[in-house]
Structure 1
């Protein structure tokens, strides 16, 4: 007798379809779990991202970022003078440096980054090197930086108004 011819032809595609359905279910379950936990940025999807997403750069950078930008010089990569081998790529974006690109060279730790990469890092109120967490502001300029930050934040004006009040 034997098996009917149609049985083997229907069984394998049906098993394949069920396997794909099961994998789709697991994918949706993981996606829902990540969405619930707020970790949707870690999933790769087929969605097209907008050109200027709002989550990458705040509209108004913190005052500390603006002051740090004044302290850290912007130079061209070709002008970088380093003892030993110069860095080949930016540790933030992982792209290689090219001769005319603007970079920021951190004085405290001697790490080098693309200007745009480091500026974006500072826009999120980060005040330390992305690699080693050394402060951006050199030790000899820290007092001046703190005074300028205090004055620029408006705290000085607030306390100045109430300094004439007895008991304060």
Structure 2
């Protein structure tokens, strides 16, 4: 009779342990589910495409007033807004030995043509001369000290800079 009572006690304890393991009461044997991380809908992450600038950066304000109409005729506004320099063509690009620049000047002015690297450092001055108004085609031989790569051609006419990218082979 004692053996049957012991068997029943062992069976009941075994059943108790199984129930505890199944329902996760023993954290040593069973892993509990973290209910805080279960979501039925995924959270939408709001990302702004506009970068946030932190610091004291002054906004750009043009030095001229677009809406002002101080001149009745408007002739001097057109003269001020007319560009002194217009580049028609830079060829061949990529450059091997010679560079041809076709440009138009609206008035006689001093023209400076320089080659700079990507950091803005001046590499070569191709021309610095006074040129008359009209259309001009200039041909320059590329210096041998120029390595293959990407450079900028900086043309300044009458204080008005114009920058174009060139590739040198």
Per chain length, whose mean CA-contact separation is higher, i.e. which structure has more relative contact order (CA < 8 Å, sep 6+)? 1
Please tell me whether Structure 1 or Structure 2 has the larger radius of gyration of its CA atoms: 2
Bigger share in strand:
2
User: TM-score scaled by structure 1?
Assistant: 0.24
